[in-house]
Amino acid sequence: DLGRHDEALVLKREIYARRVAMGGAADETILTGGNLSSALMKVGRFAEAKTLLRDEMLPMARQSLGPTHGLYMDTEEWLVQALCMDPNATRDDLREAETIMQDVLQRRRRVFGPAHPSTAWCEGELA
């Protein structure tokens, strides 16, 4: 980590904007958006990350992949990270994060089974 998070953010915004403009494979756009949300969180822009995830990425993932797709559940977990890592998180934010994770865990158990690594990770996050 070279600590050049602001520079990385500029590049990740450009890449995401180009990916959205190109259209095409939603999963690649969602992954690019995930990189952008991570970059936003690294520079402390949690509100912007939450807006990106809630208003753009989750609707796109739900429509194109569906709620039982692993990448859709990953996108929900990125929102949970944004909610929990925000130093200004409220109790309502933390309750929302817990509710999302409980829902994701139920779907991961049903889709992937209890022994799958992503299911185990999700269980650990809720512990």
Would you say 79 and 100 are in contact if contact means Cβ atoms under 8 Å apart? yes
For residue range 88-126, list pLDDT tens digits in order. 999 999 999 999 999 999 999 999 999 999 999 999 998
Say yes or no to pLDDT of 23 above 90. no
| pTM for this entry | 0.93
Query: How far apart are alpha carbons 19 and 1 in whole angstroms?
Result: 25
Under 8 Å CB-to-CB from 94, ≥6 apart: which residues? 83, 84
Say yes or no to pLDDT of 1 above 80. no
* CB atoms inside a 10 Å sphere around CB 94: 14
Under 8 Å CB-to-CB from 19, ≥6 apart: which residues? 28, 29, 32, 33
**Sign of the Cα pseudo-torsion (47, 45, 62, 108, in order):** negative
Backbone angles phi, psi at 43, to 5 degrees: -100, 10
Quick one: average pLDDT of 74-100? 97
Among residues 43, 116, 122, which one has the least CA distance to residue 78? 122
Residue with token string 């994060």: 97
